[in-house]
A and B are shown apart, each in its own frame.
Chain A
Amino acid sequence: EVQLVETGGGLIQPGGSLRLSCAASGFTVSSNYMSWVRQAPGKGLEWVSVIYSGGSTYYADSVKGRFTISRDNSKNTLYLQMNSLRAEDTAVYYCARDGGDYPSAFDYWGQGTLVTVSS
């Protein structure tokens, strides 16, 4: 059974850093594209970042230069390192398998982890 479990969210001051983790089971992270998607309170979904199976990484303009997506193949885990956090980064962050069973669609999602950026 495919499962994604995010951890690492919490309350952080503006300018601070946080690393989110997404532990996967039931499939191999490194063989798939994996994405992070976020949702600000009461708002819609926003794609944040993707890591391709080959290792290439891409980011939304809103986080480029501040966030880094990576993975640990030995732990079958996806990460999102978030630096220089701003109030507008406050959101629930979801990891999602990207194009697994269904090309280019996010077919499995984690339960999400809340990041609150506030002083």
Chain B
Amino acid sequence: QSVLTQPPSVSGAPGQRVTISCTGSSSNIGAGYDVHWYQQLPGTAPKLLIYGNSNRPSGVPDRFSGSKSGTSASLAITGLQAEDEADYYCQSYDSSLSGSRGCGVFGTGTKVTVL
């Protein structure tokens, strides 16, 4: 069950900036849980893109950035490139589900198209 809402699609020309929103609630993002972002290229497994709201793992270009505020988070891609065409998912935890830290929840996913 997706409790995090993302726009189905965003698009932009090469070199432009696009943003993807991830809207949650007081039981997940608003409860203080970190938000992570994943990139999934066609036919491949997801890849961690942003962790802890705004941090990039080593090897991820600084064109990708993340932020979090209140019950929402955002992923920004600046200097859009053809290779960025992929599906993007946010992920957090939800305290309404079982587990000592809540259980994982993913966003609905956003397809980024490079025009």
| A→B interface (CB under 8 Å) | 35, 37, 44-47, 50, 52, 56, 58-62, 94, 98, 101-107, 109-112
Interface of B is mostly: strand
CA separation between A105 and B105, bound complex, in Å?
11
Q: A94-B46, A102-B55 are in contact. Are A44 and B89 (CB under 8 A)?
A: yes
Flag if B45 contacts A103 (CB, 8 Å): no
| CB of A67, distance to nearest CB on chain B (Å) | 13
| CB of A101, distance to nearest CB on chain B (Å) | 7
Does B61 belong to the interface (CB within 8 Å)? Answer: no
Flag if A104 contacts B101 (CB, 8 Å): yes
CA separation between A62 and B1, bound complex, in Å?
8
CA separation between A45 and B47, bound complex, in Å?
12
Select from chain B the residue with minimum beta-carbon distance to A99.
B101
| CB of B8, distance to nearest CB on chain A (Å) | 10
A105 — which chain B residues lie within 8 A by C-beta? 34, 36, 48, 51-52, 91
A107 — which chain B residues lie within 8 A by C-beta? 48, 51, 57
Give the number of chain B interface residues (Cβ < 8 Å). 31
CB contact list, B4-30 vs A, under 8 A:
none
Q: A47-B106, A94-B46, A109-B45 are in contact. Are A104 and B1 (CB under 8 A)?
A: no
Select from chain B the residue with minimum beta-carbon distance to A109.
B45
CA separation between A101 and B52, bound complex, in Å?
11
Select from chain B the residue with minimum beta-carbon distance to A64.
B98
Partner of A110, one of B1, B45, B47: B45
| CB of A84, distance to nearest CB on chain B (Å) | 19
Q: A61-B1, A102-B51 are in contact. Are A111 and B103 (CB under 8 A)?
A: no
Select from chain B the residue with minimum beta-carbon distance to A95.
B45
B64-107 interface mask toward A, CB cutoff 8 Å, 1 = contact, 0 = none? 00000000000000000000000101010100011111011111
